[in-house]
A and B are shown apart, each in its own frame.
Chain A
Amino acid sequence: MSSWFHIMILIPFLFAIAVPYIYKQLTPRIHTGWFVLFIPVLIFVYLFAFIPQISKENTITATVPWIPAYNINFTTHIDGLSLIFGLLISGIGALVILYSIFYMSKHREALHNFYVYLLLFMGAMLGLVFSDNIVVLYVFWETTSVSSFLLIAYWYEREKSRYGAQKSMLITIFGGLAMLAGFIMLSMITDTYSIREMVSNAADIPSHSLFVPAMILILIGAFTKSAQFPFSIWLPDAMEAPTPISAYLHSATMVKAGIYLVARLTPIFGGAAEWFWLVSGVGIITLLYGSVNAVRQTDLKALLAYSTISQLGLIMSLLGLGSASLYYGVGNDSSVYAVAIFAAIFHLVNHSTFKGCLFMVVGIIDHETGTRDIRRLGGLMHLMPISFTLTVIGSFAMAGLPPFNGFLSKEMFFTAVLNVSNMSVFNADAIGLAIPVIAWIASVFTFVYSMILVFKTFRGKNKPEKLGRDVHEAPIGMLISPLVLGSLVMVIFFFPNVLSDYLLNPALHAVLPTLADAGELNVKISAWHGWNTELFMTLGVIGLGALLYIYLKKWYRIYHLYPDNFTLNNMYNLGLEKMESSSKFITERYMTGFLRDYLVYIFSFIILVVGGAMWLFDGFSFDPSSDAPANFFELGLMFAMIITAITVLFSKTRLTAIVAVGALGFLVSFFFVLFRAPDLALTQLVVETVTTALFLLCFYHLPQMKKEISRVRFKAVNAFISIGVGVLVTIVALAANGNRLFESISSFYENSYELAGAKNIVNAILVDFRGFDTMLEILVLTVAGLGVYTLIKLRPRRDRNEGAE
């Protein structure tokens, strides 16, 4: 039982592996989508079977260990909230895949890419909503960002797709990383990674000093994902993705992940004034921003994108307003505000149905007419009657009109904002009155753009000359999915309480567990609730909205008053450009391509780190007491070495320099003799002879050594660094010499005769004890030898031709 649930989450990932093979074998005979379709259907049916259990307030938890040492386990937790999301992900996923079978041409499109990304997303999203462990949740969260990036860039040969994909990636991953930091803080506060355990200890959390930072960081993650103002700018550009993807990721599921997270964490953060103002404030601003901007769009998908931003803001603000119920604790007032949370979940479901439907219809219009530009469309009502009906259903639901489900949740939204204006906590009395006003204005704009969507596209004059093709209704297969969603819009309006009893109330209880335990939550939805303020607000929206729509041309010009330079998009572009140019500027400052500069960095770093460590830890000590005595002859050798080395430094000709370096090598071999190392002395003699010969060979080919002509500063820096290195090495050597911490381990090798049959210990170490090292040394020699040979012997063909000419 428990493992089945994990398998359900993993199935999309596993099946994704098979998709390319299916595509390769069966294209173009059978559309790959038919094989993918059964995965979400299977998951949907499987999840559907949980409804009876969950609606009775049961929750199911199962754990598979992942990194048990760090207490990170893949724990799945099914309650009302996650089940609603699971059903949306799999249900809409199935409809979208069915739709895509007709939308994506099996002859032209790279379907294997498309369905692999889609399945990746589906699995990640399921994992996200069902994980109880925040680390696992984070991993799935970022996976949805990555799959969204891949899907937006699906037509990667288009520049706009790449731009949109990059934008969404940058913004959502930025938010994801902020969220990760918030999660880590949260786990530091509570000492657990499990959300359930955090919720059960929720009372102790607000007093912690990390409470507010953790809240803000997590909210940044939620706001970026759910396209809240000012992070919303990525969503309109994400519309470059194929329309099934826009319907699925960028309106129904992925953008709701932020909403899910806010709802999921409400028991932990809710009740705090910061949470209340941040979530509801940002939500209500987003609601207004999205709806006002949607009206000015001419591209149907852009219009829907802004409307999605606006609706997400609505849901977000409801969650914020509803969090006040946790402030009041158990009591009568709390259930008044709990209605807002209920409305949020209800509207979330409604939005997925009507917006999914609208996106699919827009996709059909695009597919059939070849354009989504409102200015080129018109009069499609008689040509595409089914699409028209579906648009009316979706748009009217969006505008909040009866008899569609949007009306119910919009009325509840008005109830929630009116409750807030009466609220006495969080200093809400002053600003509290502004919230219903803003909400109402935003609703008017929502009404206007909903009407634009219906009437500008389907009414008015048909403009076939602008389309250049015959327009007719879409094939039936393409219409099935929007028809299902459209009928759901109506069904929910007429039977809202079925949905409420089985899904919405359990979800509400998951968000507000303390109130649910007190038995105070059971919301009933009714379409008719008397002549109250909410109804008058709706009537006002319809009246003013209709007026504004009719006189759209007269007031439309106010949009041009806003300077283009100050749009969020321009700021984003400018910021990106500046970041690129300044990082290029900085990189070019130090990446000079000049070998010496890089060596200066390396040597300076060595001086800084080693010298700094010596200085910081007071590491220098000097103890010459155990030094071996030095006789006159040795002092003479040292003096000779210094002289020859300085000769190299100041030599004017190549010959002097090479001979001096050779002399240096022979002097070193003298030292080896003195230091009781006969093998070294012999090797050094041989090697030095060969090296000098090599130098002399190349001497013939290399140019005359020029006197270095460089600025004084260049030479001064070089001198400074090289003296620094020299002094440092001396200091380290002296310090090491003065403090022998361990006895030499060489005595271990003194039984070399017994073990290896060798009387020469050094040779025994090389060829016996450390034989492998020597073998690898020989390998290095071989490689160097090959290098030398190739460099001398092999020429590019061009060279040889030149030689022949």
Chain B
Amino acid sequence: METLMSILVGILFAIGTYLILTKTLLRIILGTSILGHGVNLLIITMGGLKKGGPPLLGIKNLTYADSLPQALLLTAIVINFATTALFLVLSYRAYKVLGTDDTEQLRGTENE
């Protein structure tokens, strides 16, 4: 399972990176979103998969799944959401003000 997950994460990273390298702002944002999913899956995979019950003390289990990656991820998901929202609004404003969503045309002017 971990091996397969690693390959899946690799594919998500590749697709996310490719989208980030394109010129359209919307594609770049989608790329960061996919990259974020890849990172989340990578972290939880690294904690080891299906090694016990959910980390809830009320449920009688001999072992629990690793709780630390889960705590990290919870934070990561929320932060990811915040940055995605900011990105979206930023690109919306950039398009409104500058009239383009192409990063090639969004280069700074000389000596700015």
Seen from chain A, the residues whose Cβ lies within 8 Å of a Cβ on chain B are 592-596, 599-600, 603, 622, 624, 627-630, 634-635, 638, 641-642, 645-646, 648-649, 654, 657-658, 661, 664-665, 668, 671-672, 674-680, 683-684, 687, 690-691, 694-695, 698, 701-703, 705-706, 708, 710, 718-719, 721-723, 725-727, 729-730, 733-734, 736-737, 744-746, 749-750, 752-753, 759-762, 765-766, 770, 773-774, 777, 780-781, 784-785, 787-788, 791-792
Contact = CB atoms under 8 A, between A and B. Distances in A.
Contact of A737 (B2, B24, B30, B88): B2
B96 A733 contact: no
Interface string B33-52: 11001101110111111111
Most buried by B among A599, A702, A745: A702
Ranked 10 nearest A-B pairs via Cβ: A726-B14, A730-B10, A593-B107, A784-B82, A722-B17, A722-B18, A733-B6, A765-B71, A676-B65, A761-B55
Contacts of B58: 759
At the interface, is chain B mostly helix, strand, loop or mixed? Answer: helix
10 contacts: A594-B104, A628-B1, A642-B11, A675-B50, A676-B50, A701-B96, A726-B17, A733-B10, A744-B48, A744-B68
Interface string B81-92: 111111011111
A766 B75 contact: yes
A645 B56 CA distance: 33
A630 B3 CA distance: 10
A592 B109 CA distance: 10
A705 B6 contact: no
A702 B9 contact: no
Nearest to A729: B13
B21 A638 contact: no
Given A629-B1, A691-B85, A677 B11 contact: no
Contacts of B55: 676, 746, 760-762
A676 B51 CA distance: 9
A594 B19 CA distance: 15
A792 B95 CA distance: 12
A702 B92 contact: yes
A698 B88 contact: yes
B10 A729 contact: yes
A730 B40 contact: no
Nearest to B42: A733
A695 B54 CA distance: 32
A694 B84 contact: yes
A708 B24 contact: yes
A730 B1 CA distance: 13
B38 A729 contact: yes
B67 A680 contact: no
A725 B1 contact: no
A624 B78 CA distance: 32
Name the interface size band of chain B: 35 or more
A694 B85 CA distance: 7
Contact of A698 (B3, B75, B89): B89
Contact of B2 (A624, A641, A661, A678): A624
B3 to A, nearest CB: 5
A733 B49 CA distance: 13
B95 A703 contact: yes
A691 B81 contact: yes
Given A592-B107, A781-B78, A791 B89 contact: yes
Given A603-B17, A642-B11, A765 B89 contact: no
Contact of A705 (B1, B24, B67): B24
Contacts of B19: 648-649
Contacts of A672: 44
B105 to A, nearest CB: 10
A599 B98 CA distance: 22
A750 B13 contact: no
Given A648-B19, A787-B89, A750 B64 contact: yes
B3 A734 contact: yes
Nearest to A648: B30
Contact of A780 (B14, B49, B74, B79): B79
Most buried by A among B4, B14, B38: B14
Contact of B106 (A595, A701, A777): A595
A645 B15 contact: yes
Most buried by B among A664, A676, A745: A676
A733 B30 contact: no
Given A676-B64, A733-B45, A785-B82, 13 more contacts: A628-B48, A657-B26, A661-B34, A674-B50, A676-B55, A701-B95, A718-B21, A722-B13, A722-B15, A729-B6, A733-B6, A733-B9, A792-B93
B9 A729 contact: yes
Given A645-B11, A645-B15, A701-B92, A759 B57 contact: yes
B22 to A, nearest CB: 6
B64 to A, nearest CB: 7
A750 B61 CA distance: 12
A136 B83 CA distance: 50
B81 A680 contact: no
A753 to B, nearest CB: 5
A708 B45 contact: no
B70 A664 contact: no
Contact of B10 (A710, A727, A746): A727
Contacts of A774: 75
Contacts of A781: 78-79, 82
A726 B8 CA distance: 9
